[in-house]
């Protein structure tokens, strides 16, 4: 029996109980919860235990004990979505749930430039952008947007995929290139700023969107935030789900990762705005995700005289 992500939203109480247990109880004392192996992933208590395994993995205590490992293996056999995740926290996840005092979200192009190295714009990048053509993929787009949708961000992200007729020089993957793409987030004639970032930064932003939730939404708990983040990263990279996570991590340096913002109507610079773009290893495929947590209707109403 396979439970697909999104078939039935995980109950908030299961996520909350799991997070509380993981934070307040020593991991060895939780082993007794995993004595009885489940036969149905929808049976009472199974979802809470699945979330607890996910929370323990984030704390570095999710594997290496017989009862816990056996329960995780049974969840994999039953097709529980959380069982797709690594049993232990990976190094690329080192920023998950870590907040640095005075270092909040990037809201403006000026803040973006101050914290990340800018990718200089070039005429060659603009020329290449004019040759890009869109390759729609609704299922892939929904997966990439999932952290923001699940977290209740105010607006559904824009997710688009493009291909190029010939490989793009990584140095030409920058703001001038992005501004030639038919992106709603860059409409309006405003200037765009694109900066080079790293895959752990991108994965952390995806995780945070779901873990903390939007201003009008709800945090999804560590286990499901981690699931949504990894699924989104795979979608942005164009990887099938059967690629092992460590293999996915190994491939990340072959991609070019950008964060971008722009002075366009899409980005409001007052709650949370995020632009991500990924150039794949072949240098011929580009994925773009733009998200905002500003309530567009409320913002428009407040601007009325």
Q: What is the DSSP letter of 167?
A: P
Q: What is the DSSP letter of 81?
A: G
State yes or no: pLDDT of 76 exceeds 80: yes
- State the virtual CA torsion across 188, 235, 233, 270 in degrees, nearest 10: 20
Q: What is the pLDDT of residue 186?
A: 96
Cα end-to-end span (Å), the chain: 57
- Cβ neighbours around 227 below 10 Å, total: 25
* Mean pLDDT computed over 278-300: 85
Q: Are 305 and 201 in contact (CB under 8 A)?
A: no
Confidence label for 10 from pLDDT (cuts 50, 70 and 90)? low
List CB contacts of 104: < 8 A, sequence separation 6 or more.
none
What percentage of the chain reaches a pLDDT higher than 90? 75
State yes or no: pLDDT of 248 exceeds 90: yes
Q: What is the pLDDT of residue 1?
A: 26
Q: Are 134 and 160 in contact (CB under 8 A)?
A: yes
For the chain, give the mean pLDDT: 90
List CB contacts of 138: < 8 A, sequence separation 6 or more.
none
pTM assigned to the model: 0.92
What percentage of the chain reaches a pLDDT higher than 70? 92
- Where are the chain's structural domains? 12-89, 109-302
pLDDT tens digits for range 139-166: 999 999 999 999 999 899 999 999 999 9
Q: What angle do CA 50, 68, 73 make, to 5 degrees?
A: 70
How far is the C-alpha of 101 from the C-alpha of 104, rounded, in Å?
8
Residue 180 Cα distances to 126, 128, 214, angstroms: 6, 8, 30
Q: What is the pLDDT of residue 12?
A: 81
* Mean pLDDT computed over 79-88: 95
State yes or no: pLDDT of 72 exceeds 80: yes
Q: Are 49 and 36 in contact (CB under 8 A)?
A: no
Q: What angle do CA 105, 162, 214 make, to 5 degrees?
A: 25
**Comparing 32-46, 90-104, 114-128, 283-297, which segment has the lowest mean pLDDT?**
90-104
* Mean pLDDT computed over 84-92: 95
* Mean pLDDT computed over 171-200: 95
Element (H, E) at 130: helix 123-131
Q: What is the pLDDT of residue 17?
A: 93
* Mean pLDDT computed over 203-208: 96
State yes or no: pLDDT of 130 exceeds 70: yes
pLDDT tens digits for range 259-286: 999 999 999 887 889 999 999 999 999 9
Confidence label for 5 from pLDDT (cuts 50, 70 and 90)? very low
Please say whether the dihedral angle defined by the alpha carbons of residues 249, 253, 254 and 256, taken in this order, is positive or negative.
Answer: positive
């Amino acid at each position: 029996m396979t439970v697909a992500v999104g078939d039935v939203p995980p109950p908030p109480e299961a996520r909350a109980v799991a997070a509380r247990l993981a934070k307040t109880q020593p991991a060895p004392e939780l082993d007794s919860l995993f004595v009885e192996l489940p036969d149905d992933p929808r049976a009472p208590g199974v979802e809470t235990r699945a979330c607890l395994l996910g929370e323990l993995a984030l704390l570095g205590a999710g594997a290496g004990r017989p009862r816990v490992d056996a329960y995780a293996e049974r969840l994999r056999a039953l097709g529980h979505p959380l069982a797709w995740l690594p049993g232990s926290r990976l190094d690329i996840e080192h920023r998950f749930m870590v907040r640095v005092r005075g270092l909040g979200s990037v809201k403006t192009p000026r803040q973006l430039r101050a914290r990340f190295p800018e990718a200089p714009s070039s005429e060659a990048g603009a020329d290449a952008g004019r040759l890009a053509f869109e390759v729609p993929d609704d299922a892939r787009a929904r997966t990439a947007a999932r952290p923001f949708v699940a977290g209740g961000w105010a607006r559904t992200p824009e997710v688009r995929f493009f291909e190029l007729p010939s490989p793009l020089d990584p140095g030409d993957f920058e703001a001038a290139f992005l501004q030639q793409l038919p992106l709603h987030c860059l409409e309006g004639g405003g200037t765009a700023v694109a900066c080079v970032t790293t895959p752990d930064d991108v994965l952390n932003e995806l995780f945070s969107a779901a873990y903390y939730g939007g201003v009008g939404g709800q945090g999804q708990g560590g286990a499901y935030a981690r699931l949504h983040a990894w699924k989104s990263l795979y979608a942005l990279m164009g990887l099938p789900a059967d690629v092992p996570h460590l293999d996915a991590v190994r491939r990340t340096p072959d991609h070019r990762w950008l964060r971008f913002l722009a002075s366009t109507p899409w980005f409001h610079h007052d709650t949370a705005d995020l632009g991500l773009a990924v150039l794949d290893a072949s240098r011929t495929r580009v994925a773009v995700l733009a998200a905002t947590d500003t309530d567009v209707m409320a913002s428009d109403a407040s601007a009325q005289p």
